Amino acid sequence: MDETLRIMDVATALRQQREVVRSQLNLDQIKDQLRQQLRETADVSGEPLSREEIDAAVGNYFDNLHTFREPPRSMRLTMAYLYIRRGRVAAIIGVLLAVSLLVWWVCFR
């Protein structure tokens, strides 16, 4: 049963790859379909969209597709950075504590 499922997974992966390839090589058709859908939606909703506006919207969509940007600067971002660098942060804190302890031991005891 496991073997069958694994074979099915491979077959699915191959089919998905084929679809990706087909969609990428027929991107113009996909863009045309998207334009058509936008046109129909605009017609139904009564929004007066021109052909140029639809083209610009489609172009913008594909330009930003698969684009990545980190979140803007914030406390949450700082905390996230501190977390992923927790090893180094812990090491620095450890060294500072050791030095403080040493100073206390030498000077105040």
Partner 1 sequence: MSKPFDGTEFFQQLQHAIERARREADGCKNKVVALDDRLDELIGRKGETFVELAKHYLPEITKVAVENTYGEVRDELLDTLARKQRHESKLNDRIAEMEASRAKHELELAAVTQQLNASAEQRDQLEQELADRLQTNDQFQNQSRDAIRAEQELIRNKQRVEEIRREASEKLPAYENSPLFQYLYSRHFSTPDYSAIWPFRIFDGWVADFIGYRQTRQSYDFLRSTPELVDAAVERRQDELHLLLESVQKIEAEASREIGLDNVMLDGLRLGKERDELVRQLGQNHEQFVACQQEQIDLDRSQGKFYKQAIGRFKEVLEKTETAVLEQRAEKSADSSDDEIVAELKWIDDEIADIRIQLPIATDQHEEAEDRVSGLNYVVRRCRQSNFDSDRSYFTDDLNTSEAIDEYFNGELNQFKLLRKIRQHQQFHPTWSEKAAEKIGTTLESETSQAVMASVAAVAGSVLQSWLKSGGAVDNRNRKGPFTKGPGF
Interface positions with partner 1 (CB under 8 A): 17, 20-21, 24-25, 27, 65-71, 76-77, 80-81, 83-85
Q: State the minimum distance, in angstroms, from the CB of residue 96 to partner 1.
A: 23
Quote the least distance from Cβ 35 to partner 1, whole Å.
Answer: 18
Q: How far apart are CA 58 and CA 12, in angstroms?
A: 29
Instruction: Choose among 88, 80, 38: nearest CA to 62.
Output: 38
Question: Could you tell me the end-to-end alpha-carbon distance of the chain, in angstroms, rounded to an integer?
Answer: 71
Closer CB to partner 1, residue 51 or residue 86? Answer: 86
**CB nearer partner 1, residue 68 or residue 108:** 68
